[in-house]
Structure 1
Amino acid sequence: MHSIGKGASIPGSQEYRISTFQSAESSTNHGAKIARYLLVKRAADIIIAGVLLVSLFPLFAIIAALIYAYDRKAIFYWQLRVGQDGRLFRFYKFRSMVVNADAIKASLLSRNEATGPIFKMKDDPRITPVGRILRRYSLDELPQLVSVFIGDMSLVGPRPHLPSEIAACPHYPMERLSVPPGLICLREVRGRSLMSFDRWLDSDLEYIRTRSTSTDFSILLRVFRAVVQAEGAY
């Protein structure tokens, strides 16, 4: 039987203490890195969204005039969407459909072309002529820059879903709600409406687990090409 004299240490204890210290130090460094990233991300959201809201104001005015000129109805459309930590917020778009689009939707469900709990139709009869152009180039999403500026959304992050869409998906990953929803997500540069619902969720989880400042700016740069080329848009 071995005895442990004064000043001696249990075999392996020194290695354990070193390992524990390194693990704690690594965790601290990772936490500091995430904190810096979130600070830079929020600052970029405020600055970029603010600049775009001011510089694109003439475009906003033109779009609003075209929508109103078509049918003299509401310019904006809003829904309650699920944000970070499950918090509901108002999600705005330029109206691209007829005003009773939600009421008509029930009669079109059998023609749904999307997978999962979402509804998509390439030739949706509810879309107005003006709305078709807006949706082709994602101009209907521009009002969400206000949500980015005030902090309900971020420039880059998972797109926010409706409460009913989340409720209808038993395997919905709650990790997706751990970050602010985004104006742009990986789906926007990987096929947009052509991507299946499950692949969409997977791409969002991929983003959440690997997100960084360089990743965010890479997605922002790539999305301009995808929007201009109208890849998978309808």
Structure 2
Amino acid sequence: MNKIIDYTPDIISRNIKKVRNGLIEIKRYSDSGIRYLVWSWFYIVLFYWIWNLIDPKQGLYYILEWTWNAKNVEAHLINLLSDPNNPGYLKGGGVLNDLYVTMRQEKIEAWLWLSVPLWLFLLTGFPKWRPLRIDTERRLVYFWLWGQFYITRYPKNGYPLNVLHPRMHRPSLRWETHGALVLRIPHESKAGKWTEVDLGIHWPACENQ
């Protein structure tokens, strides 16, 4: 269970952006959560890959060795598997050319395995989800989701959240105070269609997040 961290004004200000007078943006809770998950897996995979790169006893070492020591690995396999009494063939009766095909596949797979941390790192920089915007001058609440526009207007007099049907989302692995505020917003033109948008500050790993 994560330790409770006080949400300071500085942490909150990094998640709520003033676009102009009367218009603010609030970051999506899910967006921060996905990045938190990806960063966690990135560090886990990076540690495991480095461990396998420097320790020949690890199972992944042999696979990754094809990326930096391919010539020596090829020579070792050819010398080990070739039939000295029958050039061009293997000891098991196969053709040497088949071994070359297998080794080319091993090289490709090795580079794919080695690129896993890179792909995870790129995912951390994936374009952020559209934030929710609140226009206090026109009393509008709106945002984009998968090419669809959702918007609603709250009354001039009264409690604005009443039209947004707010509820709290409690994460299963975090404290309730680290949950999200979920609002329901109708589609711009399709009657009866609405979606829920989760807002809030995903549990920060440190005060500077």
Per the normalisation by structure 2, the TM-score is 0.29
Per the normalisation by structure 1, the TM-score is 0.27
As a proportion of its length, which structure holds more helix?
A: 1
Query: Who wins on radius of gyration, i.e. which is larger?
Result: 2
* Higher relative contact order (Cα pairs below 8 Å, separated by 6+ residues): 2
